[in-house]
Structure 1
Amino acid sequence: MTDRRWRPRLLTMLLAVNVALLALPLAGIWFLRVYESALVRQTESELIGQAALIAAQFRAAWLAAAPPEALSQQPQAQRAPSEDRWQPIPASLDLADDPILPPAPDGVPPGVPPEPVALRVGPPLRDVLLAAQRHTLAGMQIVDARGIVVASTEDDEGGSLAALQELAEALRGAPTSVLRERPAESYAGLPAWPFSRVGGVRVHVAIPVIDGDRILGAVLLRRTPRTLIQALYGKRYHLVALGALLLLVGGALATFTALTVSRPVRGAVEQARRVAAGERGAVQPLPHRYTREVAELSASLATMAQTLEHRADYIRDFAAEIGHEFKTPLAAMRGTVELLRDDVAAMAPEDRDRFLDNLAGDIERLERLTRRLLDLARADALRPTGEERAALDTIIPPLVERYRSKGLQIAVEAPAAGLVAQADADSIVAMLTNLLDNVRQHAGPDATVHVAWRTQGPVIVLTVADDGPGISAGNQARVFDRFFTTARDGGGTGLGLPIVRSRLAAFGGTIRLLPSDRGAAFEVTLPLDTGAAA
């Protein structure tokens, strides 16, 4: 039954996988906010640089305008200043890790008046801040040591920002950067960027103004970083070209992979269809085997097809041979039954007994054939476990003595002691029994059998030879054919040697007929159990 459900082609699946693999790094960057954090740190670095310049200018103006005793009256920094010449302020904000604080509140009326020197030098700096803001777009505020705004780009001079977390840290002597939510009114009417998180935050940087260990004030700067869309928009043509190139490369790789895999698979499918249609020899090694797995698959399919064809031939020939073997006795039995049915009343007793004897003989032959066929089926289906072991010096001598007691003359060469074959004892006994029975049946009463066994590398070689009349040249090539026998009248079935060959083959052994000037000589090989021999 054909499964007609839709399934994607291999090329489609590989293309989808390649596109997904290309998209994974981009997705990882997106979810980890790596690029947006880089934009935030870039803005933070710019604000730190601007704040440092403004702080230096405010410090110089404050020192120039202050009376000599004013510096000692300023609050002392809670954090000891570094004595190093170089004191860089690194950008450290991370959009994925740092919290986003609420929007900065407006200044509140101060409880104390502004510091006089800061109040005097602050207003002249306001024009500088406004001029810089036109280019930097940053909000700027200068506060005195009490957190009161003395110069600003907004109209909030005189208000106190001391409650701001970042400013409080700066007035203790520590530069501080934080992320705060952007007030909704600051971007009302502007397009929303759902794919960017930085559009809704502001970077706040607070830098202390210090002379020695005295706090003169602080500089507070804030600005919204560029969004991811804004950053990518400038590289839009390059990104489109890169995306097209990646898709082209991914498609090319997917096509190449699909061809190297699907082309051999289609070839194997076509061969399978030809086999299903009854074509013989349709499965051959594939012409395009780009990978080791495909080559192994092709070789395995070819071997499987050859095995199946061999088994089909075996079954067909075997069925024909069985039909031929059973046909003769069945025809004789049918004829005998018809004669007895028609003429049993008028038939002489001796003729009736002769026909009944013939009928019993045919039945006996069929029973014998059936038993041997079952033995052959068991031999063909024999599957060793690998644990079978048989010591020849404990199996062969008792069997030889049994046949000597039946009158068969057997000469045994001095065997090598301790030879153990990787086979079961039943198969070895069945093999020797068949060979010795053949000698008794074909070689005559005066024949002598020579039995010898030895090792030859990893195998045991066992030889059984007689000095009888031997096997004719015309029959030597047929002795292992099923149902071939020259002793049919004596009860031979022609299945003995095929059974022996099948049983030996199951253990990796062989049997063959050796050239001989006199008599018949058979050579049997069995795998040697090297562990036992050692």
Structure 2
Amino acid sequence: MVSAPAPRVRQKWRPRLSLIIASVLALVACLPLGSVVFFRIYDNQLVRQTEAELIAQSAAIAARIGAELSARAPAGLRLGPPVRAGTPNADGLAAISPRLDLATDEVLPPRPEAMPAAGTAHSALADLGLRLTPELAAISAATLAGFRILDADGMVVAGGDEVGQSLATLPEVAGALAGHYRSALRRRVSRHPVPALDSISRGTGVRVFVALPVAVDGRVAAVVYASRTPADALKQLYQERYRIGLALLCVLAATSAIGFVFHRTIMGPMQALIARTTAIAGGDRASLKPLDHHGTAEFARLSQSFLDMAASLAARSDYVATFAAHVSHELKSPLTAISGAAELLADDASEPAMTPAQRADFLAAIRANADRLGALVSCLRDLARAETMPTAGACRPTEAIALLRDDKPKVAIEATGELDRSVAMSTETLALVLGHLIDNAARAGAGRVTISAASAAGRRAIVVADDGPGISPANRARIFDPFFTTRRADGGTGMGLSIARAMVTAHRGSLDLVDSGKGAAFRIDLPATTDPT
């Protein structure tokens, strides 16, 4: 039977492990900067920073306005609803915190133009607005923020060119007139041309608006309405380019170190293992040695598994070569004897010179050698079957011993020990193994065979001892060799113990010769199984 070739892996493009590792490391290295660019984390931080600065500036202006209005207490000043402060903290302070978020807040359309006002502002607020106009212009020049002072009806009394017009319809202004702090994001309308494509700053597309009520006697007396464009994220990153470059170098160094560790612990041992297995497959016996560097415990175990497998295959190859030489020798002797006797009988047929007794001796030699050839072929078939036989099944040794007592009545079989504990071997197979050992004992002149069993650490040990003459020290090391026999003249093939050991080995067990006081003793070690109920 010709063995089938090894299955081949379907050839198609597959990424190398080194490419996968390099891609993952590159992604990890780019993730910090990518998150800033694509998830607008830095943009959102700049918006929050802008809102916080506008809150601080508006609060200072609101405190100035509230103090002057409270000191003068102008008659007829209209006051709106109560100012609703935030929830105080443990120190009793109700701070106004930035709350805008690019990810969740809607960006409103650009701020509409102011509407005509229905009336006029109170004279006290109008005078205060005239006095604050130069100060607001100076603050705007320093902070690049725009400020509007509105009265309790939403009319602009200071700031910009909208004095005397109303902004009460804007949602953020309406909220402040109701006594709440309000902020909003609006699309920015720039009066400057769009920067060139290669500019480091393309300009920010949003503008932050905050509306803070001014409290007099706890009620809304005015509103500070401020706005400013946040700093551009890319421009900020460009200004921090040296620090960012240093951070990228650190990330690159860390990524390179991780890549070196991966190469040292995974890629290097893997490539060495592939090269080693390729060399072993090509017949290089010198490659049957551990790798110089294994990297990880898993690769060390994998390498050892390959070495064990390769050593086993090499031992099997040596065994097959030696076995083939033994087979050819064992078959050649009877074939030569048959061929020589046949030639002599053929020559005698043409010129008769043999006596009938001589012719009968030659015919008997032919029959004896033919029988030996048949026995050898039968043993070879049994050996091949033993090494490839199924290993499923379990039995109690008492079941196999019962079969042997019926099959071999000339030998007294005694059984002792834990023979009712199951072993991982079928009844028929165990009977064959024990039968070979009993047959050897019987041919050596034994009349009684003792089979005993014991258990230890999940294994079952079965000892087969006989009362025969035993095995000489010179032959003890060779009794399991194929074709070794001391009874060749009596038709012995020297295959019985080889077949028995092959059967036991196929069931993850062992068969060995052990010392005994008299006769020969063999120990069979097999895995234990759960006793059937």
The TM-score, its normalising length taken from structure 2, stands at: 0.86
- Other-structure match for 1:485: 485
- Other-structure match for 1:76: 80
Contact 1:40 1:198 in 2 (8 A): no
- Other-structure match for 2:179: 173
Counterpart of 1:130, as a letter, is A
Deviations 1:456-484 (A, max 9, x none): 6343332321234x444433322211011
The yes-or-no answer on 1:430 pairing with 2:432 is yes
Contact 2:437 2:464 in 1 (8 A): no
Counterpart of 1:232, as a letter, is L
Relative distance call for 1:196 and 1:293 in structure 2 (3 A) is farther
Deviations 1:393-412 (A, max 9, x none): 343255235433x4x4x262
Structure 1 counterpart SS, 2:287: coil
1:412-451 equivalent positions in 2, closer than 5 A: 412=414, 415=417, 418-443=420-445, 447-451=446-450
The yes-or-no answer on 1:379 pairing with 2:386 is yes
Alignment equivalent of 1:164, drawn from 159, 170, 184: 170
Contact 1:393 1:415 in 2 (8 A): no
- Other-structure match for 2:505: 505
Distance 2:474 2:93 in 1: 109
1:9-88 equivalent positions in 2, closer than 5 A: 13-63=20-70, 67-68=74-75, 70-71=76-77, 74-77=78-81, 86-88=93-95
Deviations 1:33-80 (A, max 9, x none): 222111111111111111122222233344455543x14xx2531665
Distance 2:138 2:408 in 1: 124
Structure 2 counterpart SS, 1:420: coil
- Other-structure match for 2:324: 319
| More moved, 257-266 vs 490-499 | 257-266
1:79-478 equivalent positions in 2, closer than 5 A: 86-152=93-159, 154-183=160-189, 185-191=190-196, 199-336=204-341, 338=343, 344=349, 350=356, 357-385=364-392, 388-397=393-402, 399-400=404-405, 402-404=407-409, 406=410, 408=411, 410=412, 412=414, 415=417, 418-443=420-445, 447-455=446-454, 457=456, 458-468=459-469, 470-478=470-478
Deviation at 1:510, TM superposition (A): 3.2
Deviations 1:335-367 (A, max 9, x none): 455556666466579576665554444443333
Deviations 1:240-270 (A, max 9, x none): 1121122122212312331233333343344
Deviations 1:486-516 (A, max 9, x none): 3334332211110111112233443333446
| More moved, 342-351 vs 272-281 | 342-351
Distance 1:9 1:98 in 2: 45
Deviation at 1:182, TM superposition (A): 0.5
Relative distance call for 1:196 and 1:361 in structure 2 (3 A) is farther
Relative distance call for 1:131 and 1:509 in structure 2 (3 A) is closer
Distance 1:327 1:187 in 2: 107
Relative distance call for 1:176 and 1:191 in structure 2 (3 A) is farther
Counterpart of 2:258, as a letter, is L
| More moved, 336-345 vs 268-277 | 336-345
Deviation at 1:277, TM superposition (A): 4.1
Distance 1:27 1:121 in 2: 50
Structure 1 counterpart SS, 2:35: helix
Contact 2:504 2:526 in 1 (8 A): no
Relative distance call for 1:439 and 1:124 in structure 2 (3 A) is closer
Distance 1:270 1:426 in 2: 45
Structure 2 counterpart SS, 1:150: strand
The gaps in structure 2 that reach 5 residues or longer are: 1-7
Distance 1:286 1:528 in 2: 33
Structure 1 counterpart SS, 2:55: helix
Deviations 1:136-175 (A, max 9, x none): 11111111122121111x2221222122111111111111
Contact 1:449 1:466 in 2 (8 A): yes
Relative distance call for 1:516 and 1:174 in structure 2 (3 A) is closer
Contact 1:81 1:212 in 2 (8 A): no
Counterpart of 1:459, as a letter, is R
Contact 1:114 1:148 in 2 (8 A): yes
Contact 2:514 2:523 in 1 (8 A): no
Contact 1:198 1:225 in 2 (8 A): no
Relative distance call for 1:417 and 1:230 in structure 2 (3 A) is closer
Distance 1:182 1:67 in 2: 38
Distance 2:134 2:418 in 1: 116
Contact 1:285 1:302 in 2 (8 A): yes
- Other-structure match for 2:4: none
Contact 1:15 1:251 in 2 (8 A): no
Contact 1:507 1:526 in 2 (8 A): no
Distance 1:196 1:188 in 2: 12
Distance 1:300 1:208 in 2: 78
The gaps in structure 1 that reach 5 residues or longer are: none
Counterpart of 1:448, as a letter, is G
| More moved, 308-317 vs 448-457 | 448-457
Counterpart of 1:318, as a letter, is F
- Other-structure match for 1:532: 531
Relative distance call for 1:196 and 1:352 in structure 2 (3 A) is farther
- Other-structure match for 1:522: 521
- Other-structure match for 2:5: none
